[in-house]
Structure 1
């Protein structure tokens, strides 16, 4: 972990100005990145049981893309909108962490 210089930060509450020190955890937090609707990521860690689509396939909204086993439950990952599969980044039997990119859409 690299050393970060702590600095006072100004903020105002009902027209009064205050200064505070930010914690190291807050100062080094990962910045927010808006989710990309063309990327399907895992919402829970688990194992890929089956992949129902191939790259280049045209799929309809609600169609099953793959099955992810997590916590002894089979979770169907569905297509969020009509589109085309660009790339598949997982394989059958692979164990994946949370927020792992599984499928890219065109």
Structure 2
């Protein structure tokens, strides 16, 4: 009549704990880090303007797209230095939250080439 509970090991900050895990916890989606080469919409809205074209060289923090959402114009910026690989939207497009608007590819800068030669 005794029910044997199954304990699992849970590691938090390099410390192991024996505990029972809920089914919700065990069935959760694993964390996937964001790709810094993708510019995504963080809110549903309408693309007002695309300020770049494919092949343009960009620096981290450059504004690439203006997105109109909730009566505000949001400036979407790049997260990495690189070249615009693909633009998935045009002015007037309606986008959902999390939609990939633009893809970047990292390029080696002059400082990377200098360090390789040394």
Tell whether the structures are fold-level matches, with TM greater than 0.5.
Answer: yes
Which structure carries more helix by proportion?
2
Cα distance, 1:17–1:91 mapped onto 2, change above 3 Å: same
Q: Partners of 1:31 and 1:15 in 2: how far apart?
A: 19
1:22 and 2:40 equivalent? no
Would the aligned equivalents of 1:8 and 1:22 in 2 still touch at CA under 8 Å?
Answer: no
Would the aligned equivalents of 2:38 and 2:104 in 1 still touch at CA under 8 Å?
Answer: yes
Would the aligned equivalents of 2:9 and 2:16 in 1 still touch at CA under 8 Å?
Answer: no
- Tell me the equivalent position of 2:49: 50
Q: Partners of 1:76 and 1:89 in 2: how far apart?
A: 17
Aligned with 1:92: secondary structure? Answer: coil
Would the aligned equivalents of 1:39 and 1:101 in 2 still touch at CA under 8 Å?
Answer: yes
Aligned with 1:35: secondary structure? Answer: coil
RMSD: 2.6
Would the aligned equivalents of 2:36 and 2:80 in 1 still touch at CA under 8 Å?
Answer: no
Cα distance, 1:9–1:98 mapped onto 2, change above 3 Å: farther
- Tell me the equivalent position of 2:8: 10
Would the aligned equivalents of 2:37 and 2:80 in 1 still touch at CA under 8 Å?
Answer: no
Which structure carries more strand by proportion?
1
- Tell me the equivalent position of 2:112: none
Q: Partners of 1:57 and 1:15 in 2: how far apart?
A: 49
Number of residue-to-residue matches in the alignment: 97
- Tell me the equivalent position of 1:89: 88
Aligned with 1:80: secondary structure? Answer: coil
Q: Which has the larger radius of gyration?
A: 2
